[in-house]
Amino acid sequence: MLRSGIVISLHTMRAEGKSIREIARQTGHSRNTVRRYLRGQFTPEKGTRKSRGSKLDPYKPFLQERLQEGIYNCEVLFELLREKGYTGGRTILKDYVKDFRPPKQVPAVLRYETKPGEYAQVDWGLCEYVDQDGNVRKVPVFVMVLGYSRATYIEFTKRCDIYSFLRCLIHAFEYFGGIPKVMLTDQMKTVVLGMGDDRKPRWHSLFADFAAAIGLVPKVCKVRRPETKGKVERGVHYVKYNFLPGKRFVDLQDLNQQALFWCDKINRRIHGTTGERPTDRLRKEDLSPIPSFDRWEKYLYEPRQVSRDGFVSYDGVRYGVPWRHSGREVTVREVNGWVEIWADGTCISRHQKVYRSRATVFCENQYAGLTTAQGYAYPRPQAQQISSQQVEVRSLDVYEQLTGVGA
């Protein structure tokens, strides 16, 4: 509807000598509309239309009471209104409640700052990379963050099992130069087998033994409360979106070397929360001293079964052992870039670790003597043929006396 002010402007434009066509082009109205209003043939503006009542009006006091109680779910309100005799629809109800609905709120949490040496937070993350063939692969990453200093350690692995976890824990403690009093984690299946009837975690026996041996107290964060270990949650996110993007690496060894360099780099930066460098605060961490190597050496061994052709599978690579150990159970230890295979307290094979999956590594003289022994590690019981001249010829009566026949 054109207002009177607009009509005046049309007359002004006409007085300036502009044509009907030009006025229509500038105002966006049709030429017939411009002519009609220039001739004074326009309809007066209608007054404000009186609003009609709605079916919801009688129930608004009841609605206000429910809204004061914090009930904003329109489905709940609709059912309550229906019980009161409401016959209207949901749309008018939603339009009414919308004006009273409070903005979405994020529940506030208490910020918890730990004392030096008190806490470490640990978590696994799953990262993606593109291999040489253009395929997307996944690789687990272990992340530990010290609560006070925010010092961070990360390590990529082939597996997320208990043995990889313990190995990464030991490497992290060696990197930090000590052991915190408490380790906080979520209910990761690596170490938590479930919750008991007393709502306490049932720890993996090997992890529980390891923690007791080094004086570490494990704790589980509250369910559905990831902010209780937010430091390491942010650490995993930081690895995925700060360290990995654009990263190029040859194998897992190369990736971990770059990861260690990256840890040194970020631990020397000013931390956004503390305003200090993690390396400086790390000196103030009251960490327990690293125990002697024999205290946790046994946790570096993993049981394995030797195949019939004399190989042990470890991290996707087959390492050879002397054939006489085929079919036996052995233990494998990874230390300083070497893979050692032990049996009965003796190292039977030692290989430099290979990071290329599905590789096969032979050991020296792996099959020496195999043909002669016909594949058997121990002599088999068997009869021995001797010359007939060496056999004493006896009468059959002698054998009858020995067996009691004819007695």
DSSP string, 311-369: EEEETTEEEE--GGGTT-EEEEEEETTEEEEEETTEEEEEEE---STT-EEPPTTTTTT
In this model, does residue 360 exceed pLDDT 80?
yes
Percent of residues, the chain, with pLDDT higher than 70: 85
What's the pLDDT score for residue 42? 59
How far is it, in rounded angstroms, from Cα 326 to Cα 330?
10
| Of the candidate ranges 103-107, 139-143, 167-171, the one whose mean pLDDT is the lowest | 103-107
What's the pLDDT score for residue 44? 47
The number of beta carbons lying within 10 Å of the beta carbon of residue 32 is 10
In this model, does residue 149 exceed pLDDT 50?
yes
How far is it, in rounded angstroms, from Cα 349 to Cα 332?
10
The number of beta carbons lying within 10 Å of the beta carbon of residue 121 is 25
How far is it, in rounded angstroms, from Cα 140 to Cα 125?
6
In this model, does residue 9 exceed pLDDT 50?
yes
Question: Which has the higher per-residue pLDDT, 15 or 144?
Answer: 144
| Of the candidate ranges 15-29, 32-46, 272-286, the one whose mean pLDDT is the lowest | 32-46
Q: Which of 287, 268, 288, 286 is nearest to 278 (CA)?
A: 268
Residue-wise pLDDT for 364-378, tens only, equals: 888 888 777 676 766
CB 45 within 8 A of CB 1: yes
Residues 35-40, mean pLDDT to the nearest whole number: 78
In this model, does residue 263 exceed pLDDT 90?
yes
The helix, strand and coil proportions of the chain, stated in percent and rounded to the nearest 5, come to: 35, 20, 45
Q: Which one-letter amino acid corresponds to residue 22?
A: E
Residues 343-363, mean pLDDT to the nearest whole number: 90
CB 343 within 8 A of CB 384: no
CA atoms within 13 A on the CB side of 32: 0
Percent of residues, the chain, with pLDDT higher than 90: 30
CB 229 within 8 A of CB 183: no
What's the pLDDT score for residue 356? 84
How far is it, in rounded angstroms, from Cα 123 to Cα 235?
9
The number of beta carbons lying within 10 Å of the beta carbon of residue 197 is 5
How far is it, in rounded angstroms, from Cα 146 to Cα 121?
6
Residue-wise pLDDT for 326-342, tens only, equals: 889 999 998 888 999 99
CB 97 within 8 A of CB 77: yes
Question: Which has the higher per-residue pLDDT, 211 or 382?
Answer: 211
How is residue 394 written in tokens? 């006896």
What's the pLDDT score for residue 2? 46
What's the pLDDT score for residue 391? 60
Question: Which has the higher per-residue pLDDT, 105 or 136?
Answer: 136
In this model, does residue 224 exceed pLDDT 60?
no
Coil, strand or helix: which one is 46? coil
Q: What mean pLDDT is reported for the chain?
A: 83
How far is it, in rounded angstroms, from Cα 331 to Cα 340?
8
CB 194 within 8 A of CB 202: yes
Question: Which has the higher per-residue pLDDT, 293 or 303?
Answer: 303
pTM of the predicted structure, to 2 decimals: 0.65
In this model, does residue 141 exceed pLDDT 90?
yes
b/e burial code for range 367-400 (CB count within 10 A of at least 16 → b): eeebeeeeeeeeeeeeeeeeeeeeeeeeeeeeee
| Of the candidate ranges 2-6, 45-49, 268-272, 373-377, the one whose mean pLDDT is the lowest | 45-49
CB 320 within 8 A of CB 311: yes
Residue-wise pLDDT for 71-82, tens only, equals: 888 888 998 999
Question: Which has the higher per-residue pLDDT, 359 or 406?
Answer: 359
β-pair partners for 195: 201
Coil, strand or helix: which one is 265? helix
The number of beta carbons lying within 10 Å of the beta carbon of residue 61 is 8
What's the pLDDT score for residue 41? 61
Binning pLDDT at 50, 70 and 90, where does residue 319 land? very high
CB 84 within 8 A of CB 78: no
Output the CA–CA distances (angstroms, integers) from residue 25 to 6, 21, 39, 200, in the order listed. 15, 6, 19, 79
Question: Which has the higher per-residue pLDDT, 335 or 225?
Answer: 335
How is residue 244 written in tokens? 């990995």
**Range picked from 33-42, 82-91, 230-239, 388-397 for highest mean pLDDT:** 82-91
How is residue 251 written in tokens? 């194998």
In this model, does residue 297 exceed pLDDT 90?
no
CB 267 within 8 A of CB 279: yes
